[in-house]
């Protein structure tokens, strides 16, 4: 690829020449590529992009303007690495793929690993999928169709259907010769699977064990049981957890009859972990599957539903305030201090909720340790409530020259901080128990609880303390 300096592009081939110190693509390189696209300089594009890793090419595609992306793909033609489309936002990938003829897509996916090909094909309409698959060789078509038939976000969708499998009666020598001579085997693998004539999984042999064993030895003598074979219908997040728990580099994927259908590798699992973490984070913020490349209308549409829910819960909190309008009219200081009580409770609840939702997602929080964690959060809420009650009580008392105001807001702070801690853990636990994703729904309910309790405790205590009647 090319490195830019004051005198123009010079040939370079290192990662550092592509990314700047801030981790973004160098502006000079991006401008150089943009100029080559504008000039339709195919030779320059091929020379400067040929050595890019697929992830780097993906970053380049995302950095280009929408009209430049399709021009780049068309100019590169068969030299465009379609694996780069697995590294870009979904909306960008879909726009590029939708603009390409099915014949070109069919030709391109034949050069991809099956998991990358499925990743590109799964978002297409069924009609386009069928047309593209019909143009592929029979074996490749069957492999991809089998993976596409599994539900989304399962191990079957993420697996590679290319793997190495041998019978148990083969010798080590024959297996090694097979690995050397067969041109149709995958380029990268760390395990050899052992199967019977019906493709039922019997075990596996690690490559290091194979290479350290004498040639006459039978495979069945050195194979080990695949204790962590992953069902093809297992959720991809559960599969990722298996990799994390048992430090796996790869794992066999089996169907309902324990027949070997694919292999899940660590590079796919890393992508799954990142994807699931991003989804949880976005859902907690009420923005769904939003991506940076989405349009203004698409982004607005994805955010409106949760904003509407928040609006409805805000009316609930406002109705609580309306119950005490006489109290607020009599003591104006309460209106000034109300947001402090609700805000502190909301922040405390968000801290607890974030920890709880993440612990539920990683299965670190379960029925065996839930009560201990609940007690811990109740203790934290009580301690923090007392600490901030003293701090805010003193400040409010001095500010408004009234010790009563300081006492009331301090008492309300203790109540709301305690309730916030309890709500921050119990609400996600309850939602998880009834089958609702706590990452999606917890924030709305927790915020409502802390607002309602905060306002009611503060204004209710003030009404009682000063003997003001409700309307």
What single string gives the DSSP state of each residue in 136-176? S-HHHHHHHHHHHHSPTTBHHHH-BS---EE-TTSBHHHHH
Same domain, 35 and 112: yes
pLDDT grade for 283, boundaries at 50, 70 and 90: low
Supply the pLDDT for residue 202: 94
Q: What is the mean pLDDT of the chain?
A: 87
CA dist., res. 225 & res. 361, Å (int): 29
Q: Which domain holds residue 33?
A: 2-153
Same domain, 340 and 446: yes
Same domain, 126 and 200: no
Q: Model confidence over 458-470: pLDDT tens digits?
A: 999 999 888 775 5
Same domain, 410 and 451: yes
Q: Is residue 107 part of a domain?
A: yes
pLDDT at residue 30 is higher than 60: yes
Q: What CATH number should be reported for the domain holding residue 191? A: 3.10.580.10
pLDDT at residue 45 is higher than 70: yes
Same domain, 239 and 325: no
> What's the average model confidence in pLDDT over 33-62?
91
pLDDT at residue 390 is higher than 90: yes
CA dist., res. 363 & res. 454, Å (int): 32
How far lies 125's CA from each of 129, 142, 297, 357, in Å? 6, 18, 22, 34
Question: For the chain, what percentages of helix, strand and coil (3-state, to nearest 5) are there?
Answer: 65, 10, 25
Q: Is residue 279 part of a domain?
A: no
Structure token pair of residue 243:
């990799």
Q: Could you tell me the pTM of the whole model?
A: 0.68
Supply the pLDDT for residue 311: 82
> What's the average model confidence in pLDDT over 330-350?
88
Supply the pLDDT for residue 286: 62
Same domain, 84 and 205: no
Structure token pair of residue 313:
């819960």
Which tops the pLDDT comparison, 413 or 359? 413
Supply the pLDDT for residue 471: 52
CA dist., res. 216 & res. 30, Å (int): 57
Q: Is residue 274 part of a domain?
A: no
Q: Is residue 471 part of a domain?
A: no
CA dist., res. 316 & res. 448, Å (int): 8
Contact 347, 423 (CB under 8 A): no
Same domain, 134 and 183: no
Q: Model confidence over 86-119: pLDDT tens digits?
A: 989 888 998 999 999 999 999 999 889 898 999 9
Supply the pLDDT for residue 9: 43
pLDDT grade for 203, boundaries at 50, 70 and 90: very high
pLDDT at residue 448 is higher than 60: yes
Q: Model confidence over 63-83: pLDDT tens digits?
A: 999 889 999 999 998 889 999
Q: Is residue 26 part of a domain?
A: yes
Same domain, 125 and 53: yes
Q: Which of 87, 121, 153 is the last residue of a domain?
A: 153
Supply the pLDDT for residue 396: 92
Supply the pLDDT for residue 274: 81
Q: Model confidence over 297-334: pLDDT tens digits?
A: 777 777 777 778 778 888 888 888 888 888 888 888 88
Q: Is residue 291 part of a domain?
A: no
165 burial via Cβ count (<10 Å: 0-12, 13-18, 19+):
middle
pLDDT grade for 292, boundaries at 50, 70 and 90: low
Show Cβ contacts of residue 28 under 8 Å, excluding neighbours closer than 6 positions: 4, 5
pLDDT grade for 389, boundaries at 50, 70 and 90: very high
Could you tell me what percent of the chain has a pLDDT over 90? Answer: 49
pLDDT grade for 289, boundaries at 50, 70 and 90: low
CA dist., res. 205 & res. 210, Å (int): 7
CA dist., res. 186 & res. 299, Å (int): 40
Supply the pLDDT for residue 294: 67
pLDDT grade for 6, boundaries at 50, 70 and 90: very low
How far lies 350's CA from each of 131, 256, 277, 433, 444, in Å? 49, 41, 17, 20, 11
Q: Which of 120, 153, 186 is the last residue of a domain?
A: 153
> What's the average model confidence in pLDDT over 376-382?
93
Secondary structure (3-state) at 384: helix
pLDDT at residue 353 is higher than 60: yes
Could you tell me what percent of the chain has a pLDDT over 70? Answer: 92
Report the domain count for the chain.
Answer: 3
> What's the average model confidence in pLDDT over 430-439?
85
Supply the pLDDT for residue 284: 64
Listed residue (291, 238, 293) closest to 264, CA to CA = 238
pLDDT at residue 178 is higher than 90: yes
Q: What CATH number should be reported for the domain holding residue 12? A: 1.25.60.10
Contact 230, 193 (CB under 8 A): no
Same domain, 333 and 380: yes
> What's the average model confidence in pLDDT over 191-212?
93
Contact 436, 402 (CB under 8 A): no
């Amino acid at each position: 690829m090319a490195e830019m300096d004051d005198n123009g592009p010079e040939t370079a081939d290192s990662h550092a020449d592509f990314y700047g110190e801030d981790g973004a693509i160098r502006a000079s390189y991006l401008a150089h590529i943009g100029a080559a696209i504008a000039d339709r300089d195919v030779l320059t594009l091929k020379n400067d992009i040929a050595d890019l890793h697929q992830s780097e090419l993906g970053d380049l595609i995302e950095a280009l303007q929408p009209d430049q992306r399709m021009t780049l793909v068309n100019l590169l033609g068969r030299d465009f690495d379609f694996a780069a489309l697995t590294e870009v936002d979904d909306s960008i990938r879909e726009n590029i793929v939708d603009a390409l003829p099915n014949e070109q897509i069919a030709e391109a996916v034949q050069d991809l690993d099956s998991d990358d090909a499925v990743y590109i094909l799964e978002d297409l309409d069924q009609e386009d999928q069928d047309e593209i698959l019909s143009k592929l060789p029979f074996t490749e078509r069957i492999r991809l169709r089998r993976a596409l038939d599994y539900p989304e976000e399962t191990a079957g969708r993420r697996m590679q259907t290319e793997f190495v499998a041998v019978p148990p009666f083969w010798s080590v020598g024959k297996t090694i010769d097979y690995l050397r001579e067969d041109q149709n085997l995958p380029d990268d693998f760390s395990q050899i699977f052992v199967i019977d004539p019906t493709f039922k999984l019997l075990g596996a042999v690690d490559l290091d064990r194979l290479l350290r064993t004498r040639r006459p030895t039978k495979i069945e003598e050195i194979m080990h049981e695949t204790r962590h074979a992953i069902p093809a219908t297992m959720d991809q997040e559960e599969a990722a957890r298996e990799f994390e728990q048992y430090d796996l580099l790869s794992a066999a994927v089996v169907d309902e009859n324990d027949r070997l259908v694919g292999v899940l590798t660590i590079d796919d699992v890393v992508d799954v972990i990142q994807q699931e973490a991003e989804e949880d984070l976005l859902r907690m913020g009420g923005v769904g599957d939003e991506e940076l490349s989405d349009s203004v209308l698409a982004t607005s549409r994805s955010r409106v539903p949760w904003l509407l829910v928040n609006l409805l819960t805000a009316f609930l909190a406002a109705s609580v305030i309306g119950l005490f309008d006489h109290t607020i009219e009599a003591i104006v200081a309460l209106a000034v201090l109300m947001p402090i009580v609700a805000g502190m409770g909301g922040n405390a609840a968000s801290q607890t909720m974030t920890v709880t939702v993440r612990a539920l997602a990683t299965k670190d929080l379960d029925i065996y340790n839930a009560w201990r964690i609940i007690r811990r959060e109740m203790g934290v809420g009580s301690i923090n409530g007392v600490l901030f009650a003293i701090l805010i009580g003193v400040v409010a008392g001095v500010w408004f020259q009234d010790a009563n105001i300081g006492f009331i807001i301090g008492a309300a702070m203790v109540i709301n901080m305690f309730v916030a801690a309890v709500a921050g853990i119990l609400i996600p636990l309850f939602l998880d128990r009834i089958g609702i994703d706590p990452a999606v729904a917890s924030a709305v309910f927790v915020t409502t609880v802390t607002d309602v309790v905060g306002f009611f405790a503060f204004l209710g205590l003030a009404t009682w303390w000063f003997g003001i009647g409700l309307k």
